């Protein structure tokens, strides 16, 4: 059926010849005057640290294919997609590398594209990632999504939507995501400018620039400037004592570094970039506001509010694109996030004790979460127990009436 609303759709946030009131966000110059692109932004240590901690965390989570049965969900290790998603998506990379790359593309470009390689019988045999910057998303005359990829040698390859696993990030049309780097290029541009300022500041001797004044006329000012820079310029010469002859003296003309609040600006930009990616500052090495009482809960908050939304986004996209219509009702993929949510050892044991005493976890259920071998069923490993002194409210009322 032809999409009746095809004329209302915009394919993506690319420049158009017509005037549109729809907002667009591109890489390029920021208010600070620094050009912000993916490659320049990732050179900012905080951006790199945020991308790395999210990508590595999601990539390290166990990913399994499950089958829904009457007895509950069970791992479908015999399903053809299990090995592709869990172990090796293609002969060139592991599952960890693919998922790490997936989050890196989503966090920097706002989209992840992966070519789905199928056999003649429509069986998936491999997944190959594609660079987001080389992909164009559009619609054909019937309103169906199409993907055009430009290879490294300049060839353009058209792919149908069934041939592409596309995971979009945050966007406005639900089809193509926007790059967080492009959306927040002013904040990142300020971080680039502050870092460049600091590098040049220390490169010039860690002292503000100034003017050498002489009571008379200097015959060769160029030679004087070069000799001054050679003796006192550069961070290696910082703190050396200057000797001024013939009545010369040095006058500062620039703002001292502390008055420019350079360090405060750099600290603020660390927090600002962490805010963009929703990463607790202590995970990128900023322990200024971290304490022993709150750092564990910050880690759990990171798992709940940062990692879980990405995990759900990926799970649903994989289920939609990789499973056939007949498999969708039975099979699905799921990340195991138990390891991120376990908390401290004492708190886990107290939680297990409550679950065990109230009968909704067995000893083997607990041991499985702790990566321990199960207790044989003959020894009660799968038994569910309850406290013997707990009775139903109705039975208590009956005893009172008697």
CA gap 136, 115 in Å, rounded: 14
Q: How far apart are alpha carbons 207 and 230 in whole angstroms?
A: 14
State the pairing for strand pair 164-168/156-160.
unpaired
pLDDT at residue 99 in the model: 96
How many angstroms separate the CA atoms of 36 and 38, rounded? 7
The helices-and-strands tally (H runs, E runs) of the chain is 15, 13
CB 366 within 8 A of CB 352: yes
Paired residues of 126 in beta bridges: 117
Kindly tell me if the per-residue pLDDT of 22 is higher than 90.
no
Q: Which residue has the higher pLDDT, 346 or 290?
A: 346
Which pLDDT does position 23 carry in this prediction?
47
Cα–Cα dist 211/226, whole Å: 13
pLDDT at residue number 166? 95
- Is 369's pLDDT higher than 80? no
pLDDT mean over 47-75: 91
Paired with 331 in beta bridges are 67
Separation CA 188–CA 182 (nearest Å)? 9
- pLDDT one-digit tens code per residue, 118-173: 988 888 999 999 999 999 998 888 888 889 999 888 899 999 889 999 999 998 88
What single DSSP character describes residue 249? E
Check residue 126 and give its pLDDT: 94
Mean pLDDT of 43-56: 92
User: How far apart are alpha carbons 187 and 124 in whole angstroms?
Assistant: 42
What would the mean pLDDT of 201-225 be, rounded to a whole number?
65
Could you tell me which residue, 181 or 190, shows the higher pLDDT? 181
Q: Say if residue 21's pLDDT is above 60.
A: no
Q: What are the CA-CA distances from residue 364 to residues 119, 338, 378, 382 (Å)?
A: 41, 16, 12, 6
Question: Bridge-partner residues for 165, per DSSP?
Answer: 114
Compute the mean pLDDT over every residue in the chain, rounded to the nearest whole number: 79
* Residue 9, token pair as written in the block: 């759709």
Residue 256 has pLDDT above 70, yes or no: no
Place of tokens 């240590």: 45
What's the rounded mean pLDDT across residues 94-102? 96
Q: pLDDT category, 34, cuts 50, 70, 90? A: confident
What is the per-residue pLDDT for 91? 94
Is the confidence at residue 36, as pLDDT, over 60? yes
CB 395 within 8 A of CB 401: no
What's the rounded mean pLDDT across residues 48-74?
91
Give the β-pairing of 210-213 and 156-160: unpaired
pLDDT in the model for residue 117: 94
Q: What pLDDT shows up at residue 328?
A: 87
Lookup result for tokens 């993506």: 12
pLDDT at residue 342 in the model = 63
Run of H or E residues at 212: strand 210-213
pLDDT of the residue at 122: 83
Q: Show the tokens assigned to 18.
A: 């017509």
Question: C-alpha distances in angstroms, 112 versus 15, 26, 98, 128, 150?
Answer: 21, 17, 11, 11, 15
Closest CA to 278 of 252, 302, 295: 302
3-class secondary-structure state, position 29: strand
Q: Is the pLDDT of residue 190 over 60?
A: yes
Residue-wise over 12-21: b if at least 16 C-beta within 10 A, else e? Answer: bbeeeeeeee
- Between residues 386 and 247, which one has the greater pLDDT? 386
Q: How far apart are CA 363 and CA 375, in angstroms?
A: 8
Determine contact, residues 307/340, Cβ cutoff 8 Å.
yes
Dump pLDDT digits (tens) for 328-366.
889 999 998 876 766 667 777 888 888 888 888 888 888
E-strand stretches of 45-144: 63-69, 72-75, 111-118, 124-130, 135-139
Q: Are 304 and 278 within 8 A, CB to CB?
A: no
pLDDT at 194: 76
Q: What pLDDT is recorded for position 13?
A: 40
Give the span between the Cα atoms of 185 and 190, in whole angstroms: 8
CA pair distance 268, 43, nearest whole angstrom: 18
Helix (H) or strand (E) holding 48: helix 45-60
Write down the pLDDT at residue 317. Answer: 95
Rounded mean pLDDT, 176-204: 80
């Amino acid at each position: 059926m032809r999409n009746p609303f095809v004329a209302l759709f915009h394919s993506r946030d690319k420049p158009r010849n017509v005037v549109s009131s729809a907002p667009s966000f591109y890489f390029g110059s920021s208010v600070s005057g620094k050009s912000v692109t993916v490659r320049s932004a990732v050179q900012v240590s905080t951006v790199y640290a945020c991308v790395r901690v999210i990508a590595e965390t999601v990539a390290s989570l166990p990913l399994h294919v499950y089958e829904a049965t009457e007895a509950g969900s069970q791992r479908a290790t015999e399903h053809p997609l299990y090995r592709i998603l869990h172990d090796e998506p293609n002969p060139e990379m592991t599952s960890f590398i693919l998922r790490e790359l997936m989050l890196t593309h989503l966090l920097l470009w706002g989209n992840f594209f992966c070519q789905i390689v199928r056999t003649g019988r429509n069986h998936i045999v491999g997944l190959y990632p594609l660079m987001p910057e080389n992909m164009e998303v559009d619609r054909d005359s019937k309103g169906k999504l199409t993907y055009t990829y430009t290879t490294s040698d300049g060839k353009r390859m058209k792919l149908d939507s069934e041939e592409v696993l596309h995971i979009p990030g945050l966007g406005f049309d639900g089809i193509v995501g926007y790059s967080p780097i492009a959306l927040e290029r002013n904040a990142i541009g300020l971080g680039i400018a502050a870092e460049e300022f600091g590098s040049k500041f220390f490169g010039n001797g860690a002292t503000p620039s100034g003017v050498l004044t002489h009571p008379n006329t200097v015959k060769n000012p160029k030679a004087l400037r070069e000799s001054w820079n050679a003796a006192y310029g550069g961070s290696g010469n910082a703190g050396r004592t200057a000797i001024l002859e013939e009545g010369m003296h040095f006058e500062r003309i620039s703002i001292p570094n502390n008055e420019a609040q350079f360090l405060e600006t750099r600290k603020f930009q660390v927090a600002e970039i962490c805010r963009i990616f929703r990463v607790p500052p202590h995970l990128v090495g900023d322990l200024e506001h971290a304490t022993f009482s709150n750092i564990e809960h910050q880690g759990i908050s990171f798992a709940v509010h940062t990692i879980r939304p990405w995990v759900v986004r990926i799970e649903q996209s994989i289920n939609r694109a990789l499973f056939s219509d007949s498999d969708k009702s039975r099979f699905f993929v799921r990340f195991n996030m138990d390891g991120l949510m376990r908390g401290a050892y004492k708190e886990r044991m107290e939680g297990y004790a409550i679950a065990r005493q109230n009968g909704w976890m067995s000893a083997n259920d607990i041991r499985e979460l702790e990566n321990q071998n199960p207790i044989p069923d003959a020894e009660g490993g799968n038994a569910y127990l309850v406290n013997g002194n707990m009775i139903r409210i109705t039975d208590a009322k009956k005893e009172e009436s008697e």
